[in-house]
Amino acid sequence: MSLYRFGNGNVVVDGLIWQGAEIHVADGRVAALSPLRGTAGGTIDLDGGWLMPGFVDTQVNGGGGTLFNDDPSVDGIARIAAAHAAFGTTAFLPTLISDRPDRIAQALAASDAAIAAGIAGVVGIHIEGPCLSPRRKGIHDSAHFRRLDAEMVALLTRPHRGVVMVTLAPECADAGAIAALVAAGVRVSAGHTDLGYAEARVAFGAGVTGVTHLFNAMPPLHHREPGIAGAALDDPRPWCGLIVDGVHVSPAMLRIAIRARGPERMMLVTDAMPSVGAIEKDFVLQGRQIRVADGKALYDDGTLAGADLDMASAVANSVGMLGLNGETASALASTNPAAFLGLDRERGTLAPGFRADWVQLDRDFKPCGTWIDGRRAA
């Protein structure tokens, strides 16, 4: 058993703030947790900073110079995992952007193999597309687009080791096909969709439990037709992913959204590209050169191509741009996405029995260290 002591800071425990904590770890899990008493030797000084549950990111396209679409392998996933661990992410879904069925199959197999190999942090996979609306394609290559047919359902519902999340446009799938995904345990999220308000409410009732990067790649909120964005704010059921980088969505709109819905089913995502944790920021996406500067990843026509964003920065922005307190930002980065993925019995919270995953941040929310399964990972 290992013992960690943290003091002189803010430790987020089940939505509360402790000024310090003693964490006993056994077999990669928290065996016991209590407030820190006194100033025992070996205590790590948080110096007014934070200790939070490890971040859970449901949308990671790449990192460390690696794009998952280009390298859907165990080694590729390991490089992405290492890049994001440096910013506090202890669980994530490598995310494949719309591609060929054979590449999707390769990515699903790579995720399984990475979990089997014990690559720290990988808990499944996110397939974003190819069943998307051409009207809301964003940076996706519409040459890969297709309906959610029987072949695609069979591919996505094969037995897998981890969580499988799929982003699709519900109008590009029959209700029976979505029901088949849901019955197989796939997390279905609506994104890159042209759905109106009424159709979105129907989709939420038919098993679509998430909304991918709320406000992006969907109709804008309008006073006569609220669209799927309005439905997501009006309906308490869906979990909503938020890209908080000051680029994808106006901070004012995100503040309005959180006030309208409350923070309980909001979750931070990075939509991260290979630039995160990389020295060379520019990259190529399916033959297109993407330039990265000033926190923006842009194609030459001005289309946003994912984000140059890490989870620690998303937390800092949630406090600085959105006015959230640290414990609420922590929930959006850890507790809520873990619950969306069905992992909330072992991740997303500092508590006995949970995985010993946490991140230390300074008072400005910059990462100082990441622990996965009780071992320092970054």
112 is a domain residue: yes
78 is in an annotated binding site: no
18 and 115, same domain (yes or no): no
44 and 97, same domain (yes or no): no
217 is in an annotated binding site: yes
The number of C-alpha atoms within 13 Å of 274 and in the hemisphere containing its C-beta is 21
118 and 232, same domain (yes or no): yes
Say if CB 272 and CB 77 are below 8 A apart: no
161 is in an annotated binding site: no
137 and 182, same domain (yes or no): yes
pLDDT of residue 37: 83
Instruction: Give me the number of domains the chain comprises.
Output: 2
84 and 143, same domain (yes or no): yes
Instruction: State the Cα–Cα distance between residues 15 and 71, nearest whole angstrom.
Output: 38
184 and 68, same domain (yes or no): yes
Known catalytic residue at 271: yes
The one catalytic residue in 271, 308, 310, 357 is 271
Structural domain span for residue 174: 54-349
218 and 103, same domain (yes or no): yes
27 and 60, same domain (yes or no): no
pLDDT of residue 38: 73
Encode the chain (378 residues) as per-residue pLDDT tens digits.
Answer: 899 999 999 999 998 999 999 999 999 999 999 999 876 678 999 999 999 999 999 999 999 999 999 999 999 999 999 999 999 999 999 999 999 999 999 999 999 999 999 999 999 999 999 999 999 999 999 999 999 999 999 999 999 999 999 999 999 999 999 999 999 999 999 999 999 999 999 999 999 999 999 999 999 999 999 999 999 999 999 999 999 999 999 999 999 999 999 999 999 999 999 999 999 999 999 999 999 999 999 999 999 999 999 999 999 999 999 999 999 999 999 999 999 999 999 999 999 999 999 999 999 999 999 999 999 999
Burial per residue of 356-372, b for 16 or more beta-carbon CB atoms within 10 angstroms, e otherwise? bbbbbbeeebebbebbb
> What is the full DSSP assignment across 37-81?
-S--TT-EE-TT-EEEEPEEEEEE-EETTEETTT--SHHHHHHHH
42 is in an annotated binding site: no
Q: 242, 309, 340, 270: which is closest to 59 by C-alpha?
A: 270
Instruction: State the Cα–Cα distance between residues 276 and 12, nearest whole angstrom.
Output: 26
47 is a domain residue: yes
356 is a domain residue: no
216 is in an annotated binding site: yes
CATH number at residue 10: 2.30.40.10
174 and 31, same domain (yes or no): no
198 and 81, same domain (yes or no): yes
320 is a domain residue: yes
pLDDT of residue 1: 86
60 and 169, same domain (yes or no): yes
CATH number at residue 178: 3.20.20.140
| Total number of residues shown for the chain | 378
354 is a domain residue: no
304 is in an annotated binding site: yes
